Amino acid sequence: MKKFIKNNFTKNYVISLSEILSRIPLIFTVGFLASNIGPEAFGAWSLVLVVQSLSISLSGAGFPSALIRYVPNGSKNDAYQFLFLSIKRSAFFLLIISITIYIFYDFIGSLLNIDKEYRWLLIATCVMAIGSIMDGILDKYFKARILITKQILYLCTRTIAEVVSVIVVFNFLEFSNASSALLSYILIVVAFKIAIYPWLFFDRRFSIKEKIKFNTKNSFLKFSYLLIPSVLLAWLIIQIDRIIIGWMLDSSEFGVYAFSATLASYLVFLSYSIMPLFQSHAAKFYDQGRFQDLQNLFEIWQYMFISAASILLLLLVFFSQEILYFTGGADFAGLPNILLILSATVCIDQFFGQYQLIFNLANKPKLITLAYLIKLFLMVILIPFFVYFFGIYGAVLGMIISVIISSVFRYVKATKLIEIKLTFFLKMYLVILISSILILSQVQNLSLITKSFFSIILVLIISLIFFENRKKFSY
């Protein structure tokens, strides 16, 4: 295991650094977009993106997950064909979905309570889905093949596309309404990606020697399609709070919530940034029967994730209001605790979400679907219940309770398949961390100097605790 860590640390570190550097600008681009169109328009845009993400989920049809499962141990010949098979099938599915949205966009918009001024943007999101589908496929393919340079170029391209489009649209172009500005933003982003992405995955020096075996192709497609129910459930789980709250709150209040939820969602990339090649290595260890190495890999990832997440959440405890003000402006900075609790929810979900990988490794996609169903059921019941009694704060309360319960289910089921249990230290630390965040969330009214002082002290304490406990690793 020591040799594995030494050989792969540099690769993981390079990709991790690239992930982090490429994600940071996106926080400011979404803030710049929100500040230019305002809470009401941003709320409508968030509901439009609900449909766009559904298009991506249906068109992707589980192919990114299949790539990360089959490509690491496949030959270059098979891997290259898996990539093009995924692209071609996704393009076909997207065409069908786009036609459907074009016909029923007004009806879909009314179902989601989208203002009529913005409903036509549902058609434009079909174009936006082209770039997003390629994002998912290329990200998994490059990581699965450990193509470090191409992965970095892909990350840079995606980020530059977002930054350039926002700057051009809101600094150099003039629009009479927000919907026209959003359409221009979509077109520039997609055009940039379409122009660059083919250069990243086309390999002129490589020619396919023989067609992929029918049984192998069938196995790949079957694995992908079996994931469609869980992919759809994952989409619904991610979007259900926006769908419910979009009907229960006024447009401006919903826009404030949607912006905080968008910023919190960027913490998802923390798990991708820490050991980006985690899933590829886990698949190799499982297929080779190296279960002790797999357990060690999980423990290292958990330790690194909880260390970084603790510091980020601590900074949000003290500075969430300042972050909201700096990124989106005063209109979005009135409810800092919403951002804090949603961020904690995302971190908990990502931490226990890695256990769901075990269901993929063990070829148990039905367990993934069951886990999503439990989570969805809880959210559908708890979010509207708590929103009715507590308003916008009820939404985040329903979210975090649903995530905690569903995470316990995933953990229990996964550890029955493979013995990868949390250490006592991490169990206790998680309880203390969640409790501390809920208690410290009331310190927003302190002065900036006081908050800075306490945050520095607490960050140093957390860093020392994890630095000392790192010695427990014997591999």
**What pLDDT score does 156 carry?**
86
Q: What is the pLDDT of residue 475?
A: 40
User: What pLDDT score was predicted for residue 102?
Assistant: 92
User: To which residue do tokens 């798990």 refer?
Assistant: 271
Asked whether the beta carbons of 203 and 18 are under 8 A apart, the reply is: no
Confidence of residue 8 (pLDDT cuts 50, 70, 90): low
- Return the structure tokens found at 288: 């080779």
Q: How far apart are CA 352 and CA 368, in angstroms?
A: 13
Distance between CA atoms of 28 and 327, rounded to whole angstroms?
A: 6
| Least confident interval from 49-53, 164-168, 220-224, 230-234 | 230-234
| 378 CB burial (10 A radius; 0-12, 13-18, 19+) | buried
Q: pTM for the whole thing?
A: 0.74
Q: What is the mean pLDDT of residues 341-355?
A: 87
Predicted confidence band of residue 29 (pLDDT cuts 50, 70, 90): confident
Mean pLDDT of the chain: 81
Using the predicted structure, report yes or no on whether residue 418 has a pLDDT greater than 70: yes
pLDDT at 178: 83
Output the pLDDT for position 21.
74
Percent of the chain with pLDDT over 90: 6
Q: DSSP string of 361-419?
A: HTT-HHHHHHHHHHHHHHHHHHHHHHHHHHTHHHHHHHHHHHHHHHHHHHHHHHHHHS-
Contacts 24+ apart (CB under 8 A), 443-451: 443/317, 443/318, 444/320, 444/321, 444/336, 444/337, 446/318, 448/322, 451/318, 451/319
Question: Could you tell me the pLDDT band of residue 472, with boundaries at 50, 70 and 90?
Answer: low
Residue 231 predicted with pLDDT over 90: no
Helix residue spans in 202-266 (DSSP H) = 214-226, 228-248, 251-265
- Token pair for 134: 């390629």
Residue 14: pLDDT band (50, 70, 90) is low
pLDDT over threshold 80, residue 199: yes
CA-closest candidate to residue 226, choices 391, 75, 104, 61: 61
CA 96, 102, 103, 108 torsion: positive or negative?
A: positive
- Answer for the pair 52, 206: CB distance below 8 angstroms, yes or no: no
Give the model's pLDDT for residue 11.
60
Average pLDDT over residues 4-29: 65
Amino acid at 411: Y
| pLDDT value at 1 more than 70 | no
DSSP code of residue 142: H
Look at residue 372 and tell me whether its pLDDT is greater than 80.
Answer: yes
Residue 169 is encoded by which pair of tokens?
A: 């649209």
Q: Is the pLDDT of residue 216 over 60?
A: yes
| Of 298-307, 421-430, 459-468, minimum mean pLDDT range | 459-468
Q: Which of 165-174, 196-205, 208-217 has the highest mean pLDDT?
A: 165-174
Average pLDDT over residues 255-260: 85
Distance CA 149, CA 127 (A): 28
Read off the pLDDT of residues 123-177 as tens digits, 9 standing for 90 and up.
Answer: 988 888 888 888 888 888 887 777 778 888 888 888 888 888 988 888 888 877 8
Q: Which of 181-195, 282-296, 373-387 has the weakest average pLDDT?
A: 282-296
pLDDT confidence of residue 5: 46
**What whole-number distance in Å separates Cα of residue 228 and Cα of residue 61?**
5
pLDDT in tens, 34-79: 888 888 888 888 888 888 888 888 888 788 888 877 777 767 777 8
pLDDT at residue 474 in the model = 45
Determine the Cα angle at 315 with ends 320 and 355, to 5°: 100
Taking the C-alpha atoms of residue 237 and residue 378, their distance in angstroms, rounded to an integer, is 10
Q: For residue 442, what pLDDT is reported? A: 65
How far apart, in whole angstroms, are the C-alpha atoms of residue 298 and residue 36?
Answer: 42
CA–CA separation, 242 and 248 (whole Å): 10
Can you tell me the distance from the alpha carbon of 453 to that of 236, in angstroms, rounded to the nearest whole number? 41
pLDDT at 381 over 90: yes
